[in-house]
Amino acid sequence: MAHVRTFRDDESKAEWLLARARAAGGLAPVDLERFWADQAVARADPFGADIPQTALGIMMSGECVYDELGVPVDFWRYQHDDAWRLELNAAYNDKAERIVGRRLLGETPREAAPRYTGLGGLHDVFEARNVWNELSQSWWLEQVADGPDELKALLDRVEQRDVRGAILPDDWDAQKARLLPRGVRPPQYRNQRGPVTFATSVYGVENLIFLLVDDPDLAARFRDAILRAMLEIRRIMDAEAGHTRDTAPRGFGFADDNCALLTPEMYELFGYPILKGVWEYTSPDPPDRRGQHSDSDMAHIVPILGRLGLTDTNFGPNVMVDHIRRHCPKAVIMGELAPFTFSRNDQPGIVREFLRDHGMTREARGLLFTTAGSINNGSRLTGMRLIMSAIQHFGRFDE
C-alpha cells in the first residue's frame, strides 16, 4: 500500500510545503504541465462536478514588474511609453515562463490594435474630471458639487443633458467610418465604478452620508439620475455597435469599494436600486453576468447583494467565503487572498489563506482563488508558484 502523508492541521501543511520550497532554492514544487492542463478544466467552470482542482485566478498584473525586475516604480510611464512597457513585459515574461510556465503580460504594441479614442463616460455626464494624482500614482475622479444646493443645480443640468453628446467625441462619425470597415466595433459599456463610489467621488463621502440621513428625497433624485444616465449610455453604445437590446451581449459589472461606508438601510435606498435597475436591463436571465468588486469590509451589504443573483464576486479580504457563499450561492467567488499578504510575500500567510478558502468551499465549489482586490507591486512570481503548489497538493478534488 502506498504511503499517504497525513497532517495535523493547515499550519503543518503550510510548514511542509514551505520546507520543500526552501529545499528547492525557493521554488515550490509544481508539476507545471499537469497544473495548467487541470487549470484549463477548473477555470472553465469552477463549479464543475468533475474539476480536478480549485481554479486559480491570479495571473499577475503590470503593477508587478517593478519589484520583480528591480525597476523604479513609474505607473505613468508604463501607461504612456509603449516601448518601455513592452520591454518590461518581455523581461518579466521571460522570468514568468521559467517560474510558472506561462507568459503572463501582453507583448503587443498598442498601435497594432486599432481602437476608438476620446470616448467619455458616466463622469462626463455629471461634469466630473478624471485626473492623474501624482501622489497615489493613479487616476482620481474630482468632486463636482458640495452641499445640497450645488447638488440640485448639478442634477438640473444632468437631467437635461444630451448624453450622446456628452460621451461621444466630435469626430465620432469619422472614427466609425475608418474603423468599422476594418471590423472594429465600438467598445461596449459593460463595467462601471459602482454607485456609492461614484456618488462619493462627485459629491463627497461625508456629503453623501449626510444627504441620505437628512434629505432622502434628494438622495433618491441623485440615485435616479445615475441610473437613467447609465441605462442611456448602455443603449447608446449598444446602438453604435449595431445592437438592439435583444442582440447586445449581456452582462454588467460594478466596482464599488465605498459601498462599505453605508449602513444596510442607506444602501437599500441608494445603491441597491441602481444595481437592480441596471441588471434588469443588461442581465435579465440567471446566467447573465452580475458582477461586483468591492475590496472593502462590506460584509453587511452582502445579504442585500445576495437578493440580486450575483454571478461573480470579488470582495474585501475580511469578507469570508462562507459568508459570501451563504448569501450568493451561485456566484463564483474571486478571492479571498488579502492583497498585502501577497504583495508582502508573506508565504505562510499565502498558503494558510488558500487552505482556509478551499476548505470553506470544498463542498459547494465555485472558488476562483485570487486576491480580494488588486494584485499590487511586490507580488512575486515565486508567490504565484507557491499558490499553484498549494492548489496541486492540497486543493484537488480528484484525490
Distance CA 200, CA 143 (A): 8
**Nearest to 319, CA basis, from 269, 357, 265:** 357
Helix or strand run (H / E) with residue 191: strand 191-193
Q: How far apart are CA 202 and CA 222, in angstroms?
A: 11
Residue-level pLDDT at 365: 95
Q: Please, which pLDDT band fits residue 2 given cuts at 50, 70 and 90? A: very low
1 has pLDDT over 70: no
* The three grid cell numbers given for residue 122, joined into one nine-digit string: 458616466
Give, rounded to a whole angstrom, the gap between the first and last alpha carbons of the chain. 16
Query: Tell me, what's the pLDDT at 5?
Result: 72
Secondary element (H or E) of residue 57: none
Using CA atoms, how far apart are residues 118 and 199, in angstroms rounded to an integer?
23
pLDDT tens-digit series, residues 82-120? 999 999 999 999 999 999 999 999 998 987 778 899 999
DSSP state of 368: E
Mean pLDDT of the chain: 95
Report, as an integer, the average pLDDT of 35-44.
98
Q: Cα 16 vs. chain centroid, distance in angstroms?
A: 32
Which neighbouring-strand residues pair with 192?
A: 254
The domain ranges of the chain are 1-58+290-399, 62-103, 105-288
pLDDT, residue 89, reads: 98
Reading the block at residue 96, the C-alpha cell is 514568468
Q: What percent of the chain is predicted at pLDDT more than 70?
A: 99
- Up-side HSE of residue 395: CA atoms within 13 Å toward CB? 35
pLDDT digits (tens, 9 = 90+) for 181-201: 999 999 999 999 999 999 999
pLDDT score of 259? 97
pLDDT tens-digit profile of 129-187? 999 888 777 888 999 999 999 999 999 999 999 999 999 999 999 999 999 999 999 99
pTM of the model: 0.93
Mean pLDDT of 233-239: 97
For cell 465620432, name the residue.
Answer: 172
- Name all contacts of 32-36 with Cβ < 8 Å and 24+ positions apart: 32/100, 32/101, 32/388, 33/101, 34/392, 35/101, 35/388, 35/391, 35/392, 36/101, 36/102
